[in-house]
């Protein structure tokens, strides 16, 4: 099923900042591309698989490290071009070789880690050890992209002949330049080139004194560029040899290109899998840097976030700190939906964090559905939404000449026309921009329709009347962004189950408004507002006690869960270590001379010469020399992993 979270919603949630945060933590351009183009999926099984990969690698990263991805480039363009008749250039083949050579160590790492990260088995099967192609290329092309002299016997012979002929040409010119009377006829005592042919700068008045071919004259006509007769045939030989060299190089490059083309499918599959692996590793780096967790995916539509922080603010504040600016911290919030209520009405002062709260909810939902760990508590739960809608800010439809109110109402109607039971709706300042009574009435109607459609929604408002909806309507609740009446500043903390207090009169009193005027202002409040304030005050204590009891119960359950997980993880690691050691021991005792091994400190393959198990040592041959080393330095070769 295709995601219906469109780019407009992602832009309003500032998801590009998260894409860039992930791209910046990728090691390859393959991973960076995936990070910058990732979109949320609506399939719970896929979300679980993505998060499971990250969760497993987070656990396995400490003993095994993250995947070694150095030297891997995006060479897909070269691989696709290899199917055409024209050969790849030598520098392109060098890049392909460097990339494929790096797959050997990556294959080895995957072989070691698949037991700890079973979700990587599919990736392991997609990443091939293609180092043999790299070896074939490097036998002919050096890492700088130059074709080696020994790429073929014929090329070696041609280049040897070229050097010999060049030496003879230099000998001809050296004799002329050493001849005093001839040297005086030159504009300057050194040779130069004309179209790859070595020539002498003869003064025009000495025309004919040096036998040879005049290739051109200087702009003033004072200098003639002469190729001595003795070197004409030698230069002709050089041209013929260069043509032969070019043809032989083309032949060699064609053979190597055909080798790449014959394995194009495996190479492209490997590169795709490398990009995915790089992105998963970037998610792990991000999770560690920002204290993120992989939330539990809830099939009942429950969103339950604890200690949630706005990820874009985390990136911004981290950047500020790196630049030497004063440290700022993101205030964590607890917010939930879908368990005891489906619509949350959020109230509080301006600049108090209401907009940040709804953006946090929306952005963490998108991140979850992209398989990205979220900055929240370890017991957080997230559903998988099929649609995420947001109406935020003061954007106006200038093409339709609509007012701010009309523009937002048009968005609300569009959202109501498309949302359903698996939708998340985020609306900022519901009912604003028009008469407060009419705005409140429209707001109530929209909330009622969201409930009828079984959508999950968080709406912010300044309208006191909408606070009362939670007291008269099932599946609706209030939340408030705290305000400190002493400092007259928001604390950015979120209180579930409480509507925002009427802070205007408190602020007025703190700012010096006479008590008589404050009392008079209170009398002007209509009966409904006063009754609502009394009802809020009457239920405040019980709601706070209920929320505190919920928090304490959650902490106790979380602590128990942590202890159980810690014990299970210790048992799992012990069993894995024991099994790995037993397997390695059996393999070591079965080694015989001639068997292939991998020498970890040298990062290369070798052959067993002899084993001295009573000394816990082995002698291995690497081709040129035999080396004695501890058996603990040996590992199974890649093909056996």
Q: Determine the pLDDT at residue 532.
A: 59
pLDDT at 351: 63
Please tell me the pTM assigned to this model: 0.78
Question: Looking at 125-229, which runs of residues are DSSP E strands?
Answer: 192-194, 197-203, 212-217, 223-228
Output the pLDDT for position 399. 39
What is the DSSP-derived secondary structure letter of residue 440? H
Q: Which residues pair with 336 in a beta bridge?
A: 304
Q: What is the mean pLDDT of the chain?
A: 86
DSSP string, 308-322: E--HHHHHHHHHHHH
**Pairwise CA distance, residues 367 & 359, whole Å:** 12
Token pair listed for 413: 């109607």
> At how many degrees (to 10) do helices 15-23 and 354-369 cross?
50
Low-confidence ranges of the chain (pLDDT < 70): 1-4, 350-352, 393-403, 485, 488, 501-504, 524-550, 554, 623-624, 638-641
pLDDT tens, position by position, 185-203: 888 878 888 877 888 888 8
Q: Which fold has domain 589-640?
A: SH3 type barrels. (2.30.30)
Q: Which two tokens stand for residue 451?
A: 């409930």
pLDDT for 534 equals 58
- Distance from C-alpha of 610 to C-alpha of 634, rounded to nearest angstrom: 13
Local structure of 296: helix, strand or coil: strand
CATH no. for 151-249: 1.10.1420.10
The gap from C-alpha 620 to its chain's centroid, in whole angstroms, comes to 41
**Burial of 278 from C-beta contacts in 10 A (0-12 / 13-18 / 19+):** buried
Tell me if the domain spanning 294-503 has CATH number 2.30.33.40: no
> How many angstroms separate the CA atoms of 221 and 426, rounded?
82
The structure tokens listed for 462 are: 């300044």
Reported as a single tens digit per residue, the pLDDT across 29-45 is: 999 999 999 999 999 99
Q: What is the pLDDT of residue 285?
A: 97
pLDDT of 550: 66
Backbone φ/ψ region at 271: left (φ over 0), alpha (ψ -120 to 50), beta? alpha
* Phi, psi torsion values for 46, nearest 5 degrees: -70, -45
């Amino acid at each position: 099923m295709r995601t219906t979270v469109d780019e407009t919603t992602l832009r309003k949630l500032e998801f590009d900042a998260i894409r860039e945060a992930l791209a910046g933590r990728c090691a390859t351009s393959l991973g960076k591309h995936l990070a910058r183009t990732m979109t949320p999926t609506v399939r719970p099984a896929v979300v679980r698989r993505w998060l499971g990969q990250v969760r497993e690698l987070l656990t396995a990263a400490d003993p095994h490290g993250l995947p070694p991805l150095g030297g891997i480039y995006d060479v897909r363009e070269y691989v696709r071009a290899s199917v055409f008749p024209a050969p790849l250039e030598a520098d392109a083949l060098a890049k392909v070789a460097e990339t494929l050579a790096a797959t050997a160590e990556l294959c080895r790492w995957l072989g070691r880690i698949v037991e700890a990260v079973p979700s990587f088995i599919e990736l392991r099967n997609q990443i091939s050890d293609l180092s043999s192609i790299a070896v074939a290329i490097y036998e002919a092309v050096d890492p700088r992209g130059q074709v080696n002299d020994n790429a073929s016997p014929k090329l070696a012979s041609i280049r040897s002949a070229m050097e010999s002929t060049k030496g003879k040409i230099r000998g001809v010119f050296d004799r002329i330049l050493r001849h005093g009377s001839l040297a005086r006829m030159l504009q300057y005592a050194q040779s130069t080139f004309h179209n790859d042919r070595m020539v002498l700068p003869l003064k025009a008045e000495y025309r004919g004194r040096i036998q040879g071919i005049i290739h051109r004259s200087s702009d003033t006509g004072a200098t003639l560029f002469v190729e001595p007769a003795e070197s004409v045939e030698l230069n002709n030989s050089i041209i013929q040899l260069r043509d032969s060299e070019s043809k032989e190089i083309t032949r060699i490059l064609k053979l190597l290109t055909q080798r790449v083309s014959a394995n194009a499918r495996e190479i492209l599959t490997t590169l795709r899998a490398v990009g995915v692996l790089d992105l998963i590793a970037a998610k792990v780096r991000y999770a560690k840097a920002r204290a993120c967790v992989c939330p539990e995916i809830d099939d009942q539509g429950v969103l339950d976030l604890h200690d949630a922080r706005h990820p874009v603010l985390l990136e911004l504040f981290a950047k500020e700190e790196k630049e030497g600016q004063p440290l700022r911290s993101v205030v964590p919030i607890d917010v939930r939906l879908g368990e005891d209520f489906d619509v949350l009405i959020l109230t509080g002062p301006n600049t108090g964090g209401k907009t940040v709260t709804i953006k946090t909810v929306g952005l963490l939902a998108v991140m979850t559905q992209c398989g990205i760990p979220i900055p929240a508590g370890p017991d957080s739960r997230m559903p998988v939404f099929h649609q995420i809608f947001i109406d935020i800010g003061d954007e106006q439809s200038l093409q339709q000449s609509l007012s701010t109110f009309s523009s937002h109402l048009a968005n609300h109607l569009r959202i109501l026309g498309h949302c359903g039971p698996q939708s998340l709706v985020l609306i900022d300042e519901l009912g604003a921009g028009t008469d407060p009574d009419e705005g409140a009435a429209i707001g109530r109607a929209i909330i009622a329709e969201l409930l009828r459609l079984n959508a999950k929604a968080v709406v912010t408002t300044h309208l006191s009347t909408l606070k009362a909806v939670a007291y008269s309507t099932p599946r609706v609740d209030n939340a408030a962004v705290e305000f400190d009446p002493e400092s007259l500043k928001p604390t950015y903390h979120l209180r579930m189950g409480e509507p925002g207090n009427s802070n205007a009169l408190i602020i007025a009193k703190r700012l010096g408004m006479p008590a008589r005027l404050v009392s008079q202002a209170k009398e002007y409040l209509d009966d409904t507002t006063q009754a609502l304030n009394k009802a809020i005050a009457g239920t405040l204590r019980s709601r706070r006690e209920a929320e505190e009891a919920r928090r304490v119960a959650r902490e106790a359950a979380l602590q128990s869960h942590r202890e159980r997980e810690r014990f299970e993880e210790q048992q799992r690691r012990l069993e894995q270590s024991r099994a790995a050691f037993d397997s390695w021991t059996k393999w070591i005792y079965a080694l015989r001379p001639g068997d292939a091994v991998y020498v970890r400190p040298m990062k290369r393959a070798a052959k067993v010469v002899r084993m001295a198990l009573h000394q816990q040592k082995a002698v291995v041959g690497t081709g040129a020399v035999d080396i004695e080393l501890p058996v603990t330095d040996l590992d199974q070769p890649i093909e056996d992993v």
